[in-house]
């Protein structure tokens, strides 16, 4: 039987790399798509490429730096705005969001899916407790799927789906799921800063540490520092 | 009173340039956004820039050639596939569609709108009789608007709207509307071929001629040839 194909949106972060390994273990033939939107660090994309290599997957890196040059408020892509320390909190996180980014990536991945006649686009979005990411909610995925089907009616597979295996999972759940299928965690990147190793103190580093701790999985990550703040919750 | 702002998606074609002039005449301050997806001819983008100049508008040209490099089935962007002659018909048109293109442009324009706190994104899509463009239907626009509001909840203007002034209009209606507000038609581009002047025989040239004829508006376009085919309808 021919393998079911899926286009996986992979940043090189913990969630999307884990998703790729999980889907591959379920028998999917994965086509990886990554977006270069001018991240501060290139490690993330390097790790996406390593993931593709391990899974023997086709890998497309799409240069969308022109899109983010349009915007000028995101600390993910601008070196002039400081990355906030500490746990995710609404105010500090808002400045790290590139507007409408998940939707743009899903729309581009779907264009590729239509072009290649592939009926699954997968994304590692997950809800966790981060309500400030409106485009990580099931409500968004459902609405986006409906819009994509309407926009591409007659061209898109009738059974097209947006696969979001982690949408109801916490990051700790993702670590547990990934550990079962042998994700090489030290080949995933979370830190928002552009250092040689994970800084250990930004919001994503905090979240990464915490996920391994809760999951009870050994965290092989080298962190530059241990967190010095107190969780405000 | 401060002018209402709108981001206008402008290709440099007849529809989008006419829309910009119409919106400007209605009092909107327009920010133009154009997409360089590797069109065969650069005239289209040049005409978008001329439009921005005339309207004294900010103009962003976003290089998305990386996106279309991903695809390899479109005669709009590939020199290896012949452009079909004649009137639009389902089979010949299918090969000129870049998958999900309107959705991608609308999603990027909306990212810019969120970033600039602008509450209107305008697109010149129109239905006409071209049922094979599923992403030109009101049903698509309604669904896309809903998805954008969900995806950007908390960041996007609560009164955000996708403005589609021509969605229920024919191309002849657009010519009539544009003529009223002085659109310089010879600074709009329709031809799918990459020639110095409009070829006169591709589907879009046919449609352009026909629109002026039906509207009873003088067509200043220089065409390389007159059509030699018979409308199959």
- Percent of chain B's residues with pLDDT above 70: 83
Q: What is residue B20's predicted lDDT score, i.e. its pLDDT?
A: 98
Q: B117-149 b/e with 16+ CB inside 10 Å = b?
A: ebbbbbbbbbbbebebbbbbbeebbebbbebbb
Q: What is residue B72's predicted lDDT score, i.e. its pLDDT?
A: 60
Residue B95 placed within a domain: no
User: A134, B155: Cβ pair inside 8 Å?
Assistant: yes
User: A115, B73: Cβ pair inside 8 Å?
Assistant: yes
Contacts with A33 from chain B: Cβ below 8 Å: 70
Residue A106 placed within a domain: yes
User: Which of A148, A150, A162 should one mutate to test binding to chain B, selecting the residue with the greatest count of B CBs within 10 A?
Assistant: A150
User: B67, A103: Cβ pair inside 8 Å?
Assistant: no
- pLDDT: is B184 or B192 the higher one? B184
- What is the number of domains present in chain A? 1
Residue B223 placed within a domain: no
What is the Cα–Cα distance from B79 to B83, expressed in whole angstroms? 9
Whole-number mean pLDDT of chain B?
A: 86
Residue B205 placed within a domain: no
Q: What is residue B192's predicted lDDT score, i.e. its pLDDT?
A: 83
Q: What is residue B39's predicted lDDT score, i.e. its pLDDT?
A: 76
Q: What is residue B6's predicted lDDT score, i.e. its pLDDT?
A: 98
What is the Cα–Cα distance from B228 to A64, expressed in whole angstroms? 42
DSSP notation for B156-196? S-TT-EEE-TTTT--HHHHHHHHHHTT--GGG----SS--S
pLDDT, tens only, B30-67: 999 999 988 767 789 999 999 999 999 999 999 988 88
Range list of β-strands (E), A88-136: 120-123
Contacts with A71 from chain B: Cβ below 8 Å: 111-112, 115
Q: A154-174 b/e with 16+ CB inside 10 Å = b?
A: ebbeeebebbbbbbebbbbbb
pLDDT, tens only, B90-136: 333 334 457 999 999 999 999 999 999 999 999 999 876 555 688 98
Q: What is the pTM of this model?
A: 0.88
Name the token pair of B157. 């203007």
User: A99, B108: Cβ pair inside 8 Å?
Assistant: no
Instruction: List C-alpha distances in Å: B72 to A34, A110, A116, A160, B63.
Output: 18, 14, 9, 20, 18
Residue B60 placed within a domain: yes
What is the Cα–Cα distance from A115 to A198, expressed in whole angstroms? 37
Residue B92 placed within a domain: no
pLDDT at B17 over 70: yes
Residue B231 placed within a domain: no
Residue B232 placed within a domain: no
Q: What is residue B80's predicted lDDT score, i.e. its pLDDT?
A: 44
Range of the domain at B135: 5-80+100-190
Distance of CA B54 to the CA centre of its chain: 18
Contacts with B154 from chain A: Cβ below 8 Å: 132, 134
- What residues contact A166, with CB distance under 8 A and at least 6 apart? A15, A18, A19, A124, A125, A126, A173, A174, A177
Task: Indicate left, alpha or beta for B191 from its phi (over 0: left) and psi (-120 to 50: alpha).
Answer: beta
Going from the first residue of chain A to its last (233 residues), give the mean pLDDT of each consecutive group of 10, the final group possibly shorter: 90 96 97 88 90 96 87 46 45 54 96 95 82 84 98 95 95 97 96 87 92 97 76 54
**What is the CATH classification number for the domain harbouring B146?**
3.40.50.620
Q: What is residue A95's predicted lDDT score, i.e. its pLDDT?
A: 40
């Amino acid at each position: 039987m021919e393998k079911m194909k899926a286009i996986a949106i992979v940043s090189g972060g913990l969630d999307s790399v884990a998703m790729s390994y999980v889907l591959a273990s379920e028998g999917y033939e994965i086509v990886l798509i990554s977006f270069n939107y001018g991240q501060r660090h290139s490690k993330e994309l390097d790790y996406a490429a390593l993931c593709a290599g391990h899974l023997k997957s086709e890998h497309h890196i799409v240069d969308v730096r022109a899109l983010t040059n349009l915007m000028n408020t995101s600390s993910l892509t601008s070196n002039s705005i400081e990355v906030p320390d500490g746990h995710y909190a609404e105010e500090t996180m808002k400045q790290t969001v590139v507007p409408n980014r998940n939707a743009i990536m899903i729309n581009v991945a779907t264009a590729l899916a239509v072009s290649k006649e592939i009926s699954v686009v997968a994304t590692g979005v997950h809800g966790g407790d981060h309500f400030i990411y409106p485009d990580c909610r099931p409500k968004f995925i459902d609405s986006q799927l409906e819009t994509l089907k309407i926009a591409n009616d007659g061209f898109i597979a009738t059974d097209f789906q947006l696969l979001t295996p982690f949408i109801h999972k916490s990051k700790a759940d993702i670590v547990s799921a990934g550990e079962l299928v042998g994700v090489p965690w030290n080949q995933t990147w979370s830190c928002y800063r552009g250092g040689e190793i994970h800084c250990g103190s930004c919001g994503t580093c905090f979240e990464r540490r915490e996920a391994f701790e809760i999951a009870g999985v050994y965290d092989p990550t080298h962190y530059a520092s241990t967190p010095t703040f107190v969780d405000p919750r």
